[in-house]
Structure 1
Amino acid sequence: MMRKIKLTRANKSTTLKALAPYYYRERALGHSTQEVGKLVLKIDSLPADKKATFSAEEIHLMRTTINQLRNKRLAKGQYTDAADDMLLKLY
């Protein structure tokens, strides 16, 4: 199943910040990072405020990593901004 999602500049930035640690952790563990790497490049190459089509697997990965980033911030007592909350609703 494919879904079109419009990413703003802030959404792109937060999504990339969430995907990067996941990518490097998987790489350090010796797991395949091809799909995550493709997703990072896809998001990075998108112009701001344009719609892009994402697969169910890509959306699941984005949602999971953003939730992990958000939970990590909360555990440290850091503020999670509205962009994080909005991204979880978007995906």
Structure 2
Amino acid sequence: MMKKIKLTRANKSITLKALAPYYYQQRALGHSTEKPGRLILKINALPADKRASFSVEEIHLMRITINRLRNERLGKGQYTDAADDMLLKLF
């Protein structure tokens, strides 16, 4: 099943910022980085403000990593508006 999501420039940025640490963490642990790597490349290649189709697995990975970034920022007392906006788009 695929879901279409419109990625604004801000949402692309926050998603890539969330996925990058996950990618490097998985790489450091010796786990496969193929799925997060492909998703990073896919999102990076998308033009802003265009709708794109994402699989359930890709959306799940984005949710997990964006929520992790959001919680990290909340823990530091930082604003999470962009992360919250992107999470709403994924639900």
With the length of structure 2 as denominator, give the TM-score of the two structures.
0.95
User: What is the deviation of 1:44?
Assistant: 0.0
- Among the aligned pairs, what percent are the same residue? 72
Spell out structure 1 runs of 4+ moving beyond 3 A: none
Q: Distance in 1 between matches of 2:48 and 2:79?
A: 25
Pairs aligned (count)? 90
Q: Secondary structure of the equivalent of 1:5?
A: strand
Q: Distance in 2 between matches of 1:48 and 1:78?
A: 25
Q: Which runs of 5+ in 1 are unaligned?
A: none
Cα deviations across residues 5-59 of structure 1 (Å, max 9, x unaligned)?
Answer: 1101000000000000000000000000001000000000001111110000000
Q: Distance in 1 between matches of 2:59 and 2:7?
A: 12
Structure 2 partner of 1:24: 24
Structure 2 partner of 1:54: 54
Please provide the CA RMSD for this pair.
0.7
Q: Which runs of 5+ in 2 are unaligned?
A: none
